[in-house]
Amino acid sequence: MLIYKKTIFNHLLCKEETVMKSANVFLWAMYLHLLFCIGVPVGIFILCMEDGWNAAGVGLLLLYWLETVAVQIIGWVCAAMAVVAYRQEKWEELLKAWKQLKLKTIPFYIVNFLYSFLIWFILVGASRGIMILLVPVPIIYTCTMIVQSGCVGICYIKHLRRHREDGKKPSGIHYVWQLLAVFDIISTVVTLKTYVVEKKDAIDSANTVNDMQRR
């Protein structure tokens, strides 16, 4: 069994652009989860409004639960692939995956927050406050996805802190910010504009100087 696990890990290490592929899958899974969150309650209401709970309604609810578990698994796989990419020193792929998961998910978190607030406001009011005990569940679920995508950002920030030759590196506080809602977006934008763009400009300048010297 141990040999089998090592074989799988070594196979992953040999894969090209694994972190980017897993980031794309995670991104699509998040938006699919949002569609499930909106569609499943509506579907259950339509299927069960006349005769109460039935096989179709229970099946739809079970499908929703399976989907929520699958998204979490995909998220943790993506975080693990970020660590693999860091070990492989695939900085460009890590950077692309980080931007994908932090910047392209902004609409997801906005819609998810607004819809969840509306639904849970109705549920808590209809249950006379009893459902408020379950409010932490979707909050924890969403925060877990932020942590998972934050692991990708932490890997790239760690690279910036260790490998910048000019000594200018992002603060360690960004490690924490990558795991917190809203702060993770601020951290990503600040880091990209302050350190990644400067690094790219420095590389371009060095390439220009080298070209001039060759001529």
Q: Helices (H) and strands (E) in the chain — how many of each?
A: 9, 0
Distances (CA, A) of 114 to 110, 111, 121, 195: 6, 5, 11, 33
pLDDT in tens, 191-215: 999 988 655 444 443 333 344 444 4
**How confident is the model at residue 43, as a pLDDT?**
87
Query: In this model, does residue 11 exceed pLDDT 80?
Result: no
Contact 153, 185 (CB under 8 A): no
Distances (CA, A) of 14 to 2, 8, 149: 19, 10, 22
- Give the residue from 75, 67, 95, 72 showing the smallest Cα distance to 160: 95
Q: Which residue has the higher pLDDT, 33 or 4?
A: 33
DSSP string, 117-168: HHHHHHHHHHTTTGGGGGTHHHHHHHHHHHHHHHHHHHHHHHHHHHH-TTS-
Neighbouring CB atoms inside 10 A of 106's CB total 10
- Tokens representing residue 213 in the block: 């010297």
- pTM as predicted: 0.81
**How confident is the model at residue 208, as a pLDDT?**
38
Buried-state track 126-162, b at ≥16 Cβ within 10 A, e below 16: eeeeeeeeeeeeeeebbeebbbbbbbbbbbbbbbbee
pLDDT in tens, 85-101: 999 999 999 999 999 99
Buried-state track 176-191, b at ≥16 Cβ within 10 A, e below 16: ebbbeeebbbebbeeb
